Structure 1
Amino acid sequence: MTDTDAGVRARDAIYDQGITACPGAFSVAWADTMREDIEKAFAEARSRPGGAVGRGPHRYYVEIHPEQLRGFVDLVTHPWVTAVCESVLGPEYEIVELGFDVPLAGAVNQPWHRDFPMPEVTRTERRLNSLAFNLTGVDTTEEMGPFEIAPGTQFDDEPEFGHGMFPPKSFYPRYEERAVRKYPKRGDISARSALTIHRGTRNYSDMSRPVLVLGVDAPGAGNSERHDTAVTRAYWEALPEQVKAHLHCPVVETLTPITQKHTIEGLVMGEA
């Protein structure tokens, strides 16, 4: 199967189910290095005000710069990733977000949600204009509180959704009936529409479950406004042209640690 075929199959799955995956895309060693970088960035972020934003009890999100992830170029040039981006978002897709979620021991069930309100182009044309790629830092088990998703809900559009993202509890039976828990292994990549209704579940283990997040937009989607990605000049000059073509972010002399944006999502989940 060609990369183009893989992209088309992934696009069909995302439009149908809201999620797809590429098992074993990277080696376990690559994933372990990714986790080392996440743990280093997480420790730094928690050491300063605004470095990490809460997504509910014992659950955090941190945005980082590409230079903080040694495997960044490997990830954004992986043939499956690029094929999915081109097939779903078009050849001029834009990399807008790099970060990670860390559900710690004791994290509780999140409310069912999507990551941002439905864009007008999705509502009126049923066209998806963004993707979220996820890569786990651990081999996920049931006790760790796996990611849970309700396939086929990416186009759910109801005025009752709080802040456009949180369905009322009366809607929960629909999502619980469809719910699928995911148990990715180190080296796997998933791609989903962040509009697909999902949640993190309770972490009963004594381990954290770090997950890398790569956000990619179609031109004009506007999600870059929610993020503060930047690269240094030296790093930029060493990047392959393939990466530069899709990484539209400030080039700076010195990186500034990112202060996380306190989104409505974070505020609501902090009360979960």
Structure 2
Amino acid sequence: MTTTPEPRPTQTPYDVPAIMAGLYGDGIIGLKGAFPREWVARLGEELPVLYREALARPGGAVGRGTNRHYVEIHPEDISGFLDLVTHPWVRTVCESVLGPNYKIVEIGFDVPNPGAKDQPWHRDFRAGPETLIDRRLNSLAFNLTTVDVEEDMGPFEIAPGTQWDDPSEYDHGMFPPVSLFPRYQALAQRKLPKMGDISVRSALTIHRGTANTSQKPRPVLVLGVDAPGAGHDEFHDLHFTRGYYERLPQEVKDHLICRVVDELEPIVQGHTIEGLMMGDA
């Protein structure tokens, strides 16, 4: 009698225990030099065009504080989407933390412009019972800067380990009271990535953008990925033209929650964070 051999786990050059430890511990990890600088430079030329277009249409960009915007985009608006979602590190992180059936639900970018102020410490959304009770992460946010970040450009700050903090005193489950700010300030790590670096974090880890006192914007690409059933696709509208979608490898299609359309429609941003729109820290 012949038996079917058990499927062998996919080999990866990346340290899966370290990935798990980093995201379940600090709540953020990164990979330096993941992409060539030339690849990032091309992205850096594409995002300003998309930014101007978004600012010119109603609902195209959402405020995230003074002189800050978030813009959700169509994957095919940028030339590097396929490179990004098939990068071995990105795939390994997603499979390790979210499981083999992870789903890509969002792509967009943040722009802290000159004059942006310190944001209040916050989470990007409420923690659910999966995290609060089961102690499981079911969503990740990848960030990729298009510039070499300098100290005066409003670097991202994060308070490691706070993805597990009790939100019972948080406003809307997302904004800690000012009385907790000294704790986050004491924990804070300021990130200064270079072009080509990529990071991934739990969006529940307490974080903020800091004041941009330079004369340069700091655009950063954002890729949102869920475990099955996490539900954040309800806040987004990922869609592809039929021709583009049909050219995608099946291994990418398997990880998409999206619409396939004949013609792209303007995106009206659905994931607003009211506490960031109302002001700065």
Q: TM-score range by the shorter chain?
A: over 0.9
Q: Does the 8 Å CA contact 1:8/1:84 hold for their aligned counterparts?
A: no
Alignment of 1:119 onto 2:132: no
Structure-1 residue corresponding to 2:258: 249
Counterpart secondary structure, 1:142: coil
> Per-residue displacement from partner, 1:166-186 (whole Å, max 9, x unpaired)?
000000011000000000000
**What's the counterpart of residue 184 of structure 2?**
175
How many Å separate the matches in 2 of 1:44 and 1:11?
38
Aligned length: 270
Matches of 2:220 and 2:254, distance apart in 1: 26
Give the secondary structure class of the aligned counterpart of 1:3: coil
Partner of 2:143: 134
Q: How much does 1:128 deviate?
A: 0.2
Q: In structure 1, what residue type is equivalent to 2:81?
A: F
Structure 2, unaligned runs of 5 or more: 1-10
Is residue 3 from structure 1 mapped to residue 12 from structure 2 by the alignment?
yes
Give unpaired runs (5+ residues) of structure 1. Answer: none
Identity %: 59
TM-score (structure 1 length as normaliser): 0.97
Counterpart residue identity of residue 270, structure 1: M
Q: 1:181 to 1:221 in 2, by over 3 A?
A: same
Q: Secondary structure at the match of 2:179?
A: helix
* Equivalent of 2:196 in 184, 187, 203: 187
| Structure with the largest fraction of helix | 1
Superposed displacement of residue 34, structure 1: 1.2
Partner of 1:86 in structure 2?
95
SS of the residue 1:42 aligns to: helix
In the TM superposition, residue 248 of structure 1 has moved relative to its aligned partner by 1.9
Asked if 1:42 corresponds to 2:51, the answer is yes
Q: Do 2:65 and 2:117's aligned partners in 1 also have CA atoms closer than 8 Å?
A: yes
- The 2-side partners of 1:108 and 1:255 are apart by 34
TM-score, reference length from structure 2: 0.94
2:244 aligns to what? 235
Asked if 1:271 is matched to 2:270, the reply is no
Answer with 1 or 2: which has the greater Rg: 2
DSSP-derived class of the 1:143 partner: coil
